[in-house]
Each structure stands twice: as structure tokens, then as C-alpha cells.
Amino acid sequence: MIEKIGSGDASYIIRTEDAKKEQPARDILDVENAFRLMVSTVTDMAYTGMQDLKEIGAVGHRVVHGGSKFASSIVINDEVKEAIKGLVPLAPLHNPYNLEGIMLMQKLIPDAPQVAVFDTAFHADMPDNAYTYALPAIVCEKAQIRRYGFHGTNHKFVALSAATFLKRPLAELKIISCHLGSGASVCAVSRGKSVDTSMGMTPLEGLVMGTRVGDLDPGIVLYLLSHCGMSADEIDQMLNKKSGLLGISGKSNDMRTILAEAETGDMNCKRAISTFCYRAKKYIGSYVAALGGLDALVFTGGIGENSAEIRTRICQGLENLGIFIYEDTNRKVSARRGQIADISEPGSKIRILIIPADEEKMIARETIHALGRVRTRDDIKKLHLRPIPLSVSAHHVHLTQEHFEILFGAGRTMTQRSDLSQPEQFAAVETVNLVGPKGRIERVRILGPARKESQVEISRTEQFTLGIDAPVRDSGDLEGTPGVTLEGKAGTVKLARGVISAKRHIHMSPQEALTLGLRDKDVVMVKVKGARELIFGDVLVRVHPKYKLDMHLDTDEANAAQITQGTVGYIESIQHRNYT
């Protein structure tokens, strides 16, 4: 790893399985020189056992901004490079250098596949109420203005690592990841997905950072432009390079220096530390509320891993939320890559973990996964030629036998009205009324057979009718979902949970999945060739011996694509592979 390129104080770090070696490289003034040094090191038999770059099978590149176009890592071609270039205005300090690295590596190893791993990809599936800015919708759509989030590669890594350490499935955990370094961000992770994060459209928003301002009243920018004679470029430089810890302290952007100066009584440095920790604490508190609870609070990044004092200051005052730091362990622990430390009080329900960042490992993992999604021409032809029947799934209810009898009478069973597209499933004659805090929906069809837990599926539009904020979930994933009251002919049932907007999905049998080269829980993109052609992303593949090929959309999605009876879709590409 080569740091501080062009600063006159550059250094490079060589990590092997046994040791870490850091040396100065002050003459490294640009990316091309840095690459020469990297190549000479990588092809040094003493370090890698490799003599020629041609021995490298693939190259993974960290790319900071992928916009809304890239929801996962992707094999680089000319179109991808153009897209990265087009996103330079959103990440001017990062994307140009990321792109330069790609170009240089393609010259050095033209035959090796190159993969872009985007910082923003982990956040691509955030709910719209988390990524939306309260600006005119037409402006946001035209200018691609939304919260994109960053540090996604490491937030994803620590979430996976936390699940492994806790010996619990990632899909059942609520995690807050605090990536604290020169760049800093907090991420709320639920069921392995980013549901909110502190950085926004650019890496400028959120926490106080080394030289970046973080959250700021937009009116300040207008004031500086109109009353202080500053130009847009001057404000840009100030917000990105002269603010944050450096701006408040007036001394340094390095937390180690600021902590040392604060010990001597420097009031500006004390204020920088206090502001940094308060901002992080405020985000943690808000994300506990957004997640509806917490299983693990993770510290990562240079500051998060190495500063016991900063961890203590952030956790102080969070005891009412169940966050208790064990100070003795916190002070003694030494972060080492590959090792996870638990610094929470013994017996605490919420675990506080230190997980050293390992973005290189995640980039390698994502590179392998991206190559695994690459299809041969024959495979692509199969995907594009096999029509997927579409079904519109209107609101409906699944009931346990117990709840059915409460609603319709003891000893009663569901009366079959008509078969559904999936074998052994049917629409019942019986219907119920849904009653929410705001309104009601009459005559909602019950689908059979009876299930182990009652569940209600409604569209996004119907959420507003009922006054319920239902999450988008796979069927059966009901933890943390809101409830609703069901009215039947013989009684009522008040569900404590169970209302969802169903995630769009495709049913298929194992044989159909094999033919298409897909696995259970893969995620694909589907092009729907209806009256209004649309591509639906994040379509979950569900494979079971009792299923047959059929894609389910809710009424809102079907209306958006103007789907009519007989409309079909075609799998456009594989977004995510399921490796579990």
C-alpha cells in the first residue's frame, strides 16, 4: 500500500503473512511512479514468489463512486470506464485516480480481467426514505441527486466479520458500523443490508472528518457566496481540505496529534475532539432508533481501531440504549488485522467490537464474485431467450389455522376458490378487512394453505391508506415488521407483526434454475417488455421443487410497467450471487 502520493512525505507499506514493513518513498509524486514501485515490489520473489505480472489472474480496483448505476462489483469494460469518468463530479478527489489506476493496470496486464469494486455499491439498496433529499423531485431525478454513501466495502466487511465472531446469521443481526479515520462514516446494517449511512451524495456529508466538514447547514454556503466574497472553488477547497478536525483545531487533521495537543491544554483541540465524538454519538443514537434495536456496535478504521479514548468518549452517555463499554479491556486491547476484540461489559446484550479494516480482502472477494457472475455468450443467450411469465400479486393475507378459526369460527377450514400459479397454493373464498391506524382496506383475499405464522402483503400505495410503514421483505421474514388488525365474520385478530411489501421475486423449480444457471437466493435484473419497457432490479430468485417459473410483482410495480395479461420478462443479468 502506498500512501500520501505527491505530498513529499509518501510511504509504502508491505504486508506479508508474517510481518509488516513500512518505508519512506518521498520521491513518489504521481500515480504512475507509485505503480512502478508497486510492480517492482509485487514481482520481487522475496515478497510474493512471483516473477511476472502475467501470473496475476485478475485485478480488483477500489472505485469510490458508482452512482446509482452500479449496485455490485463489475468486470470493467469501456462502458464501465466511461461511467466512472462521468461520475467524477460527484467524487473529484477519488474517481480520477481510481480511473487512472485502472488504465495503468490494463496496460500492464492487458489479458487479466479487471474488476471495479464500488464504495457506494453496499448502499445501493437503501430504502428511498433514507436516500431521498427533500429537494424538488424533478431536480433530483435530472441531476442524480440522492444519498449514495461510501466506505461500503469496509462496512460490508465488518458486518460479515461481526456475524462470524458472534456465531449468528448475518440475516438476523442489527449492526452499527463506525468507520472512523481521516474519512469517517457510520452505517446502519439490518439483515446484512445497509439501511442508512452518514455520508451522502458525496463523501463530504456526515461525521466530522480529517479535513472534511461533515454535516453543514446549506445556508452557510449561500452566506459565504453572497456576503463573504468567497467563490464556489474557494468554498469547495475549504469544505473538503481545510475543515473538519483541521479546521476546528487549527493544528492538524491527525487525531493522534490533536489528542496530544489537547493534553497540553489546547482548547481548540479539545473542542475538535468533543465535536467529533458528539457527532458520532448522535448518529449512533439515531440509527438505534432506525434499526429498532441493536446487536453490535463496531469500531473500525484508523481512529476507531486505535484510539481507546475516542471509543470511550463516543460510548459515554449511551448506557440508556444498552451500550456499555468495558473500560479495562478497551484501554488494554491492541487492534491487529484479522483479530476481533470485544470491549463491551461482560453480559451486555449489545456487543461493542473492534474489527480492523481489511478492504483488500473484501476487494479480492468481490472480484471473485464479479467474475463468477460473468456469463458465456451461450448463457446470456439462454437468459435472454427464456421468457419469464409475469403475475400481478394483489394484496393478500396468509393465516395460521388458529387465526383462521378465530376469524371464521371454530373448526372451520379455508374454502378453495381457485388455484394459483404455484402448485398446491390457492385463493380462498374467505376474505378479511385490514384495519390500520389511519384507514382500512375491505375484502382482502386469503391465500391457502394455512401457514405457521400469519402474514399480510400490501403494496406501497396501500401502506398510506392504512397508515403503516411496511418494509420490503421476502415472504416469511417478519421480524421487526408492523402489525395490523384483521376483521373476519366471526371475530378479530390483532397481529403484533406481519405486514410487509413483498420483495419482487421469481419462483422456479431446480430444473428451471439449472437451465438458467441460477441458484436459490440469487438476485437478478429482469427486462419487462410490456407497453412500457422497464428493467426491474433486485429480483430475488426462489428455487423449490414445488415451484414453477413465474415472476411476481405487486400492483404498483405492474402499473408502472403497464403490464397486461400475457406480458413476459427476460433475465437481463445477475446482480448478486448467493454463495451460502
In 3D space, the residue among 163, 166, 148, 162 whose CA is nearest the CA of residue 91 turns out to be 148
Q: Which residues contact 339 (CB under 8 A, 6 or more apart)?
A: 356
Q: Which one is catalytic: 18, 27, 119, 358?
A: 119
In 3D space, the residue among 567, 509, 572 whose CA is nearest the CA of residue 537 turns out to be 572
Is residue 281 within 8 A of residue 308, CB to CB? The reply is no
Burial 386-416 (b: 16+ CB within 10 A, else e): eebebbbbebbbbbeeebbbbbbeeebebee
Helix (H) or strand (E) holding 189: strand 184-190
CA 392, distance to chain mean position in Å, is 28
- Going by the DSSP 8-state scheme, the letter that residue 64 receives in this structure is S
Rounded CA separation 83/88 (Å): 9
Q: Which residues on adjacent β-strands are paired with residue 506?
A: 541, 551
Q: Output the CA torsion 211→212→214→217 (10° steps).
A: 110
Q: What residue type is assigned to position 194 of the chain?
A: S
Q: What residue type is assigned to position 259 of the chain?
A: L
Q: Is 342 a catalytic residue?
A: no
> Would you state the cell numbers that stand for residue 100, as one nine-digit string?
487512472
Rounded CA separation 191/186 (Å): 16
Is residue 245 within 8 A of residue 221, CB to CB? The reply is no
Which residues are marked as active site? 119
